[in-house]
Structure 1
Amino acid sequence: MNRRQVLSGLSAIALSSAVPPVSAADATVTVKTVAGPVIGQVKNGAVVFLGLRYGETTAPPHRFQPPRKPVAWTQPVLADTYGPASPQGSNPDSYGKSEDCLFLNVWTPEASTKTKRPVMVYLHGGAYSNGSGSHAEYDGTNLSLHGDVVVVTINHRLNAFGYLYLARLERQITGKAGPLALSGNCGQLDIILALEWVRDNIAQFGGDPGNVMAFGQSGGGAKIATMMATPAAKGLFHKAATMSGQQVTASGPGNATLRAKAFLAALNLKPDADGLAAVQTLPWEQLVTALKATDPVLGGGVYMGPVLDETHLFRHPFYPDAAPQSRNMPMIIGNTLNETKGFQVNNPEFQNLTWEALAEKLPPNYRVDIDPYLVIDTYRKLYPQMTPTDIYFAATTAGRSWRGAVIEAEERAKVGAKTFVYQANWQSPKDGGKYGAPHAVEIPLVFRNTAVPSAVTTDSEGARKMADLFSDAFIAFARTGSPQTAALPKWTPYSLPNRETMLMDLPPKLANDPRGAERRLFDKVPFVQAGT
């Protein structure tokens, strides 16, 4: 299940909810970047630059190869429209899909070098397969103006275009490493190139290149966790915040090669020289269709994500420990109380479950190998009032979504890395409250975009109060490395055995080891990251 499917489960995302292009009639501001001058617009009080090119096209003959910096230009380029998204099966917005997709967007209170503001770079969700940086909930206007910060969102290569691992096949066929050596991590390389763009240019937009916070939800958080163990990303961002997005381990090269073969087979290609040549030149639409290939490891659609390729990524992000290169970086790790309701609450298959059906539904959805009857018995003792459906969503959240966050926080605590952990407890009132605190609930809160039609939060008074709590905490973290605000209780960093966790609710509360009995239940079995 990916973020696009999550959002479709919460409410249909109409194209009209996308932020419209800024009219050229609005006041304009010209900024000179390293590559050339760009023209932004003053919109609702912020200076907005949409569709800034940070890399050249990745279409053939550059498919599956590292990104390239943009060719310099001299005439000012009007930055008034989002760039296209990476090719994908879904329709993320109204701005199209293309292999020429390396674009980013900037919102700033003032595009000048007079003030150095914290920079907040957002990585979108959608696992590693779908999405773009132009969704209406990611519009940075409110966050930028409220926090006096510079906000950046980006597009990068996804699914096969960003993560199809062809390096081993290439080496088997040619006997040596070649241009596809980094194919399994091209999406990560794109993000790194975007962060290099921020380093080299953001001062001209009022940002401080020495104070960059990377934050992301779901797949966006996983991308950040991966970069925290990636040598090429070192020094490009200085703080990290992940919302329901963990990456304990990356895909191994063996499994990634199995997936590459399955993907080629779906294209009627053999894993030989001819097949390798063909996949680099076929129309991208054919590659998107082949993403329906069955994953030979997980089942379901074929998984694409970062690969332990020993060329770009040399270790797993949080195995066997927290990567040393990012231990000095402050981090926020958060999850929601009812993660899997965001995925499945509208699916009739998971409504009105019986106790007998519950035992069958749990194992494939909490994704760890533990006796479902033990899980059911434990939850019935802990929460006697829960129905089978209640237990289904609680247990799948604890085993599938929350577990990776616990591991990351524990590994950082073991080495004294400053980590602030939260649990989003606030229950959305949408549709009678049936979603609870679902996956993705924090996005419109952090961005202060609760009025966007697709927001699961609604634009209720409670949602706006929660937006104050969340956005102010993230802004404080971007500015100081601590999410502490006057509206929050004292937020003590996560430690063992206390496991300090801020329960984000009205009112917020700091708790030690919340849901500890659930944590201990799933601690007894190994956690395997999906994709690994």
Structure 2
Amino acid sequence: MIDRRSLLAGIAALPAAAAGARGGDPVATTRHGRVRGLREDGVLVFRGIRYGADTAPRRFRRAVAPQPWRDIADATHYGAAAPQTRADEPTSEDCLFLNVWTPALDAGRRPVMVYLHGGAHAHGSGSDPLYDGGRLVRRGDVVVVTLNHRLAGLGYAYLAQSGGPAESGNVGNLDIVLALQWVRDSIAAFGGDPNRVMIFGQSGGGAKVVTLMAMTEARPLFHAAATMSGQHVTAAGPNHATARARAWMAKAGARDAAALATLPIGRLVEAMAMTDPLEGKGEISFTSTLDHQVLTRHPFFPDAPREAAHIPLVVGNTHDETALWIEPILKRGDTTWANLPERLLAQMTKDVGVDHVIARYRQLYPERTPGQILLAASTAGRSWPGHLIQAEERARIGAPTWMYQFDFPAPEAGGVLGAFHSLDIGLVFDNTRLPSARTGNDAAAQALAGRMADAFIRLARTGDPNGGTLPAWPHYDLARRPTMIFDRRVRVEDDPRREERLLFAVAPYIKPGG
């Protein structure tokens, strides 16, 4: 039997790329073995590359690298997503897979763009068609990586106070660290530069981006970052996280963490659908945890981490974030002055008087309908403050930071949804042709997609999104608050929506679920 050292030596001696047996399909050599991908529209695509071993035997514990393999592994299909509620694709605890799009398997040393998917730390995967990296590769001669990692209770249940592993509240993030270590060690075989790695993500993915910036173990593995509507300022506190973990254990029928680790996965997923015990609504919320070991500080409290000040960061938000959550209400158009206070109260995070907020909005925008004020005020009082805090705290320590606001409205329903949460994904990936992008694919959408995609590519390549046809995009500062407005007319505005910002600035921002 060949031993591990001999096998690794043999792998290292193989050429970085070779022609496969099936019509020239690309074969690349990773740290753990060779993989065969596909050629699609001039791009080499590798789907379902294993970067970690099956997590089932190590449930709630740090994952480990896979054992090396001798044969050429198939990398033509996406790997399983993490177990989750409402799954629309195959799932398994054996879920540590990543996907690579590249122009060529040469020594090109191209920038690497690693995307972390959204889904509130509980849903999703790296295989959504909207995250297909082919068009970014063709636009910018870059390498794109997406990945799966453990989610919800399996990735973020904090069990340290219940007899479980100390790292259990952050093993989903540690999976991402393992994937970034794979990038460091293997991406050169795919034409990528391990010294030019950008991480970016939307919503929960953007929250993971800023959390990784606060993690000592993660920071050396990437060199630029962008968070899209990832409004995390704080992680979950260990006491709240423990309360949630214990409620989940009870729902699943486990007396302690050891018993939870042995239950059938179906029972754990079923229990994850329970109502959150602290908020009293939605599914139980699991997220990154201030565990004092893996994560020793909050991402942006009490300030931005100075240890990450050298990492260039783009902070983005959409103009009408909350439309995604109140879409049925907006489309019905039945918000009135009478029911507006109740509907707005259900959406706001900032504890500001609802009647006071409505009166001020009616003063600022007398022409707006109750539904339009619901959308604007719920966004300014729920989603936007976290993004502002991220940019403000970075500005206070002089860290290179650029802020954008995405204003391009979705065309459906007569534009009533505005620029809702997640609408910028299809443009950053230049995938507006996909119906799931919800942007339409007319000339304006395509043009804006090109400018946004190119800005992200430049951030990956140079650490600065400026250039091309963009107006000069200054660093964010507290005097001017310059913000790039991505819309049909791309422009920079100082302190956009200033009066709305000041209206909610009187109250602190507390991240939901923290």
TM-score bracket for the superposition, by shorter chain length: over 0.9
Q: Which residue among 38, 42, 66 is the counterpart of 1:41?
A: 38
Q: Name the CA distance, whole Å, in 1 between partners of 2:181 and 2:198.
A: 13
The correspondence of residues 169-318 of structure 1 with structure 2, limited to 5 A, is 169-170=162-163, 180-270=165-255, 275-300=256-281, 301-318=283-300
Kindly state the Cα deviation for residue 355 of structure 1 after the two structures are TM-superposed. 1.3
Aligned equivalent of 1:5: none
Q: Name the CA distance, whole Å, in 1 between partners of 2:49 and 2:390.
A: 34
Aligned equivalent of 1:134: 127
Aligned equivalent of 2:8: none
Q: Identity percentage over the alignment?
A: 48
Following superposition, which runs of at least 4 residues in structure 1 exceed 3 angstroms of deviation?
23-27, 347-351
Q: Name the CA distance, whole Å, in 2 between partners of 1:205 and 1:517.
A: 49
Q: Name the CA distance, whole Å, in 1 between partners of 2:22 and 2:30.
A: 23
Aligned equivalent of 2:71: 75
Contact 1:92 1:135 (8 Å CA) reproduced: no
Query: Which deviates more, 511-520 or 353-362?
Result: 353-362
Q: Name the CA distance, whole Å, in 2 between partners of 1:169 and 1:440.
A: 36
Contact 1:121 1:151 (8 Å CA) reproduced: yes
Q: Name the CA distance, whole Å, in 2 between partners of 1:205 and 1:349.
A: 46
Q: Name the CA distance, whole Å, in 2 between partners of 1:24 and 1:141.
A: 24
Compared with structure 1, are the counterparts of its residues 24 and 375 closer, same or farther at alpha carbon in structure 2 (3 Å cutoff)?
farther
Aligned equivalent of 1:343: 325
Q: Name the CA distance, whole Å, in 2 between partners of 1:434 and 1:92.
A: 28
- The alignment status of 1:474 with 2:459, answered yes or no, reads no
Aligned equivalent of 2:110: 117
Kindly state the Cα deviation for residue 366 of structure 1 after the two structures are TM-superposed. 1.2
So what's the TM-score if we normalise by structure 2? Answer: 0.94
Aligned Cα root-mean-square deviation (Å) = 1.5
Aligned equivalent of 1:495: 477
Aligned equivalent of 1:506: 488
Aligned equivalent of 2:13: none
Q: Name the CA distance, whole Å, in 1 between partners of 2:332 and 2:479.
A: 35
Quick one: which amino acid aligns to residue 270 of structure 2? T
Kindly state the Cα deviation for residue 283 of structure 1 after the two structures are TM-superposed. 1.2
Count of equivalent residues: 494
Kindly state the Cα deviation for residue 268 of structure 1 after the two structures are TM-superposed. 2.8
Kindly state the Cα deviation for residue 25 of structure 1 after the two structures are TM-superposed. 5.5
Contact 1:225 1:247 (8 Å CA) reproduced: yes
Compared with structure 1, are the counterparts of its residues 87 and 296 closer, same or farther at alpha carbon in structure 2 (3 Å cutoff)?
same
Q: Name the CA distance, whole Å, in 2 between partners of 1:65 and 1:276.
A: 11
Aligned equivalent of 2:138: 145
SS in 1 for 2:357: helix
Quick one: which amino acid aligns to residue 38 of structure 2? Q
- The alignment status of 1:99 with 2:93, answered yes or no, reads yes
Aligned equivalent of 1:3: none
Q: Name the CA distance, whole Å, in 1 between partners of 2:45 and 2:24.
A: 11
Kindly state the Cα deviation for residue 264 of structure 1 after the two structures are TM-superposed. 1.3
SS in 2 for 1:365: coil
SS in 2 for 1:81: coil
Q: Name the CA distance, whole Å, in 2 between partners of 1:248 and 1:516.
A: 21
Q: Name the CA distance, whole Å, in 1 between partners of 2:210 and 2:21.
A: 39
SS in 1 for 2:383: helix
Q: Name the CA distance, whole Å, in 2 between partners of 1:269 and 1:382.
A: 54
SS in 2 for 1:256: helix
Q: Name the CA distance, whole Å, in 2 between partners of 1:25 and 1:366.
A: 56
Kindly state the Cα deviation for residue 342 of structure 1 after the two structures are TM-superposed. 1.8
Contact 1:85 1:132 (8 Å CA) reproduced: yes
- The alignment status of 1:406 with 2:400, answered yes or no, reads no
Contact 2:44 2:103 (8 Å CA) reproduced: yes
The correspondence of residues 410-489 of structure 1 with structure 2, limited to 5 A, is 410-489=392-471
Q: Name the CA distance, whole Å, in 1 between partners of 2:333 and 2:58.
A: 47
Contact 1:125 1:219 (8 Å CA) reproduced: yes
Kindly state the Cα deviation for residue 302 of structure 1 after the two structures are TM-superposed. 0.9
Q: Which residue among 393, 399, 406 is the counterpart of 2:375?
A: 393
Kindly state the Cα deviation for residue 42 of structure 1 after the two structures are TM-superposed. 1.2
So what's the TM-score if we normalise by structure 1? Answer: 0.91
Q: Which residue among 23, 28, 31 is the counterpart of 1:31?
A: 28
Aligned equivalent of 1:13: none
Q: Deviation per CA, 1:107-160, whole angstroms, max 9, x where unpaired?
A: 0001122x1100000000001000000000001111111110000000000000
Kindly state the Cα deviation for residue 508 of structure 1 after the two structures are TM-superposed. 0.6
Contact 1:24 1:80 (8 Å CA) reproduced: no
Q: Deviation per CA, 1:260-308, whole angstroms, max 9, x where unpaired?
A: 11111212333xxxx3222101111111111122322222221000110
Contact 1:109 1:144 (8 Å CA) reproduced: yes
Kindly state the Cα deviation for residue 348 of structure 1 after the two structures are TM-superposed. 7.0
SS in 2 for 1:89: coil
Query: Which deviates more, 292-301 or 316-325?
Result: 292-301
Kindly state the Cα deviation for residue 423 of structure 1 after the two structures are TM-superposed. 0.2
SS in 2 for 1:208: strand
Q: Name the CA distance, whole Å, in 2 between partners of 1:348 and 1:246.
A: 23
Kindly state the Cα deviation for residue 486 of structure 1 after the two structures are TM-superposed. 2.7
Q: Name the CA distance, whole Å, in 2 between partners of 1:372 and 1:348.
A: 19
Quick one: which amino acid aligns to residue 240 of structure 1? A
- The alignment status of 1:108 with 2:102, answered yes or no, reads yes
Q: Which residue among 133, 145, 158 is the counterpart of 1:165?
A: 158
Q: Name the CA distance, whole Å, in 2 between partners of 1:322 and 1:87.
A: 33
Compared with structure 1, are the counterparts of its residues 139 and 501 closer, same or farther at alpha carbon in structure 2 (3 Å cutoff)?
same
Q: Name the CA distance, whole Å, in 2 between partners of 1:349 and 1:44.
A: 38
Q: Deviation per CA, 1:159-188, whole angstroms, max 9, x where unpaired?
A: 001001100111xxxxxxxx6111110100
Kindly state the Cα deviation for residue 26 of structure 1 after the two structures are TM-superposed. 5.7
Q: Name the CA distance, whole Å, in 2 between partners of 1:426 and 1:348.
A: 17
Aligned equivalent of 1:9: none
Kindly state the Cα deviation for residue 24 of structure 1 after the two structures are TM-superposed. 9.2
Compared with structure 1, are the counterparts of its residues 349 and 480 closer, same or farther at alpha carbon in structure 2 (3 Å cutoff)?
closer
Contact 2:331 2:416 (8 Å CA) reproduced: no
Q: Name the CA distance, whole Å, in 2 between partners of 1:291 and 1:102.
A: 20
Unmatched tracts of structure 1, length 5 or more: 1-22, 171-178
Contact 1:132 1:155 (8 Å CA) reproduced: yes
Q: Name the CA distance, whole Å, in 2 between partners of 1:92 and 1:490.
A: 42
Quick one: which amino acid aligns to residue 276 of structure 1? A
